[in-house]
Amino acid sequence: MNYIVLQNENALYYECKFSCDNAIFLSLGKERFFITDSRYEIEAKERVEGATVVISKNLLDELIATLKSNKVKKVAIDPIEWDLYSFRKVKESLPLKFSYKPAFSHNKRIIKSAQEIEYLREAVKIGRKSFKAIAKALTERQGASEQELNFLAESILRDFGRRDISFEPILALSENAAKPHALPTERKLQLDDLILLDAGVKYKRYCSDRTRTAYYNGETLRFNYKQHFSDKKIQKAYDTVLKAHDKAIAKARCGMTGSEIDKIARDVIEKAGFGKEFVHSTGHGVGLDIHEMPYISAKSTTVIEDAMVFTIEPGIYIADAFGIRIEDMVVMQNGRAEVL
């Protein structure tokens, strides 16, 4: 199958082990081309694997010329990647038949290789160690704002410049944690606060993703599963989320759909009376992108198979009061979910 990868850096990297912010990848059977500009010539020629590096001042013109010289009649594209200008230019220049394949690269990457799983496992291990370091640092930061705490957490996750993060961390206190993707505020850390931390790091470009919710009482903070809150409603919600998290992981099986796994977690939360407060899906795939296939949601028809990697992250969010989420990454091995 002939196909084009346009500008998506993780999709480019998956094809040839190199990416940059201005490139097109073209696959024509056994012939493969990495088209970029002269700024990336040296690195591209050093790092691109399995493709011919083509340097051009105009990437779209080079793509059109290559398609024309190879007499290509049909090519697959992911329409989500393309801007209208680029699509029209290629379409109007050649009598091509386009095959539209949304999430083309994500579908190719849904089953992880043994090497990819090891990279993801290592990213998770580094993330876990980072959480321990963040917990220790937060213990001594009573009175600091969410903005300061987020900066501190990101500095630790990045190991002060030595590694990349999967996404901007989310560190939210008590009522602000009721927003699943809370932005940091000037709200200051106080005794009896709830702390929600959602963060991840990269290892060889592969992402980790982890969320913990903890109680801050001025003593040593720990982002472990066992948490004891002074507020009974918070404790009930926390125990419910943990039960949903544990049950979804324990009951997940190959052959289920993403929606069936989502239902396992959602049923626990609904039975406890918090159904309306579980406002997002139970999980998502993780790999080169922090969000990729498979999706563990109420609408997902994807059949889960061995070597798929995804999160389990149920949550309960009470507006203006608190939010709780517990998240781990799992890999399907021998038909079951193994926590990475």
d(CA 269, CA 326): 13
Spell out the SS3 assignment of the chain.
CCEEEECCHHHHHHHHCCCCCCEEEEEECCEEEEEECHHHHHHHHHHCCCCEEEECCCHHHHHHHHHHHCCCCEEEECCCCCCHHHHHHHHHHCCCEEEECCCHHHHHCCCCCHHHHHHHHHHHHHHHHHHHHHHHHHHCCCCCEHHHHHHHHHHHHCCCCCCCECCCCEEEEHHHHHCCCCCCCCCECCCCEEEEEEECEEECCEECCEEEEEEECCCCCCCCCCCCCCCHHHHHHHHHHHHHHHHHHHHCECCCEHHHHHHHHHHHHHHCCCHHHCCCCCEEECCCCCCEEEEECCCCCCECCCCCEEEECCEEEECCCEEEECEEEEEEECCEEEEC
From its phi and psi, is residue 21 left (phi > 0), alpha (psi between -120 and 50) or beta? Answer: alpha
Q: What's the confidence (pLDDT) of residue 161?
A: 83
The residue whose two tokens read 């590096």 is 53
CB 215 within 8 A of CB 139: no
User: What pairs with residue 193 in β-bridges?
Assistant: 216
CB 28 within 8 A of CB 1: no
Residue spans in the chain of domains classed CATH 3.90.230.10? 114-339
Residue 337: exposure state from Cβ atoms within 10 A (0-12, 13-18, ≥19): buried
Residue spans in the chain of domains classed CATH 3.40.350.10? 3-108
Residue 52 CB coordination number (10 Å) = 13
**CATH node for 3-108:** 3.40.350.10
- Digits of tens for pLDDT over the chain (340 positions)? 999 999 899 999 999 999 999 999 999 999 999 999 999 999 999 999 999 999 999 999 999 999 999 999 999 999 999 999 999 999 999 999 999 999 999 999 999 999 999 999 999 999 999 999 999 999 999 999 999 999 999 999 999 889 999 999 999 999 999 999 999 999 999 999 999 999 999 999 999 999 999 999 988 999 999 999 999 999 999 999 999 999 999 999 999 999 999 999 999 999 999 999 999 999 999 999 999 999 999 999 999 999 999 999 999 999 999 999 999 999 999 999 999 9
Residue of 113, 103, 157, 78 whose CA lies nearest to 309: 113
d(CA 161, CA 66): 40
CATH superfamily, region 114-339: Creatinase/methionine aminopeptidase superfamily (3.90.230.10)
CB 137 within 8 A of CB 222: no
The dihedral formed by the CA atoms of 256, 260, 261 and 267, expressed in degrees to the nearest 10: -150
